[in-house]
Every structure is written in C-alpha cells, then in structure tokens.
Amino acid sequence: SVHTRDQVELPPPAIDNRLTVHPLWSEIDRISTEQIQAAFEGVGGEIGWQLFAEEGDMRMYRREMEVDGMVTDPLKAMHKVRGVTAREMCHYFFNPRYRYEWETTLETMTIVEEISSDALVFHQTFKRIWPASQRDALFWSHVRQSTDNTYAVTNHSTTNVDYPANTSACIRLFVTVCLACRSSWPAGATPTRENITTSIAYCSTVNPGGWAPAGVLRAVYKREYPKFLKRFTNYVVEQCRDKPIAI
C-alpha cells in the first residue's frame, strides 16, 4: 500500500553505509553537524538578528550581509507545528517526489546522483525574476537523525563536471540550507497527532552568484521565505492527516 511504501522511505534512524564511503561524506558530515548545531542556537546575543516577519508561531529573522557587493543576508526562521513529527517534516522536505507540490520557486529539478537513501545531489533551475538573469543551483541534500526526536535536512552547493556553472542562460547561485526539527509531547504520554508538537528551525544563506539588484533581491526574500515556510508546513500537515504517525 501507499502507507507501507512511505514508511519504508522515511528518513533512516542511522546513517546509510553507502554515504559513509562516498567522496563527499566528510564534507556532508561536517557541514550538516555545523548547520544543525547553529540552527538550534537562539537569535539573541551579539549577532544582530532582526525580526522581519511574524505570523502565529512563525518568526523570521535576517542579518544584513554583503559579499563582494552582493546581498547574501542569512535567514533564520522558527516555527511550531502541531500534529506532525520531525521525521515526517524532514521526509517531505528531502524526498524529491513531493517537491513540486510545495516548492513554488522551481522551474526544473533533476536528480544528478543518488548517493544513498539519505543523500542525493540535485540540479534545480528557478523561475526568472525580472530584470535579473535566471538562476540555477547544484547541491547535495542529506537527511539525518541528530538526537532523540530530532531530524534535519541540510542542503549545500557542490560541483559536478556534467553540470558546469554559468554556461547557458543561467547564473549559478550558492546555497546553504538547514531544516532542523524536534518533536515533543507530554511526559509519560504516547505520542499522537493530537498531542505532538514539532519545533522547526530553518536557516538559509543564498549567494546570488552574480549581479542582481539589491532592492529586488531583498523584496523577493521578504515575500518568498514566509510564503515557503507557511506553504511547506501546511502541506506536511495535510499529507499526514490520515496516515499513522511516524516517530
């Protein structure tokens, strides 16, 4: 049945052996560990995170940053979602089968390499924003359990000789994204769709890779990130509604 197939493809509780023998393993392991740790750090303290969007339990913060004159503002978002688990959230974010259903910036998505059940390499092209050139990205994506009831997906740009940058109509952008999720439910109780809450930390840094007007870029950023997080979390809640809970 569909349920059995979905269960089988849920993020594995331990790292897939095929990933640990891949040439990208040490980079994937290092960056994922760093990103997951940073995702759960607060937004207080010295580095000035500024709140720019707030709706229900969702809060979005950014830091103004430029690299070689290009806007690369890091984003950090926090959210709380009821009725779904961390593992389910990460399943829908990682698995390409669902991507077109929640990702609205996509034009095309190609699986470049299937490293293992928990690691893939993607090539994606994005919708063009006037007056800038169209962008594409090439990145690895890795899903893992970190601690109990905590799962995370990390995406990070990579290279591949078959997918050279800046050759066709597209400018290659660079991305580091981490979606880290932790579930909790009342102590002593059995987790159910009625009593479970998942805290989400989503961090993203996108370097546009080439000229893009700063004003347009910040406007897209401000509009698209809240839209993404609301749409994605609502999508997962809908998908999970009548399925058995997967802890």
Tell me which residues touch ligand 18C (CB under 6 A): 103-105, 124, 126-127, 129, 132, 135, 137, 155, 173, 175, 177, 206, 208, 212, 216-217, 220-221, 224-225, 228
Residue 48 CA to residue 51 CA, distance in Å, equals 10
> Nearer Cβ to ligand 18C, position 19 or 137?
137
Q: How far is the CB of 181 from ligand 18C (least distance, A)?
A: 13
Select 61 or 221, whichever has its Cβ closest to ligand 18C.
221
Closest contact distance (angstroms) between CB of 128 and ligand 18C is 7
- Please, what's the b/e burial string for 130-158 (b: 16 or more CB within 10 A of its CB; e: otherwise)? eebeebbbbbbbbbbbbeebbbbbbbbbb
- CB under 8 Å to 147, separation ≥6 — which residues? none
Complex with ligand 18C: residue 124 or 149, whichever CB lies closer: 124
Residue 196 or 229 having the CB closest to ligand 18C:
229
DSSP labels, 152-178? EEEEEE---TTS-SSSSSPEEPEEEEE
Minimum distance of ligand 18C from residue 137's CB (angstroms):
5
Least Å distance, CB 187 to ligand 18C, is: 33
Look at residues 66, 95, 78 and name the one whose alpha carbon lies nearest to residue 42. 78
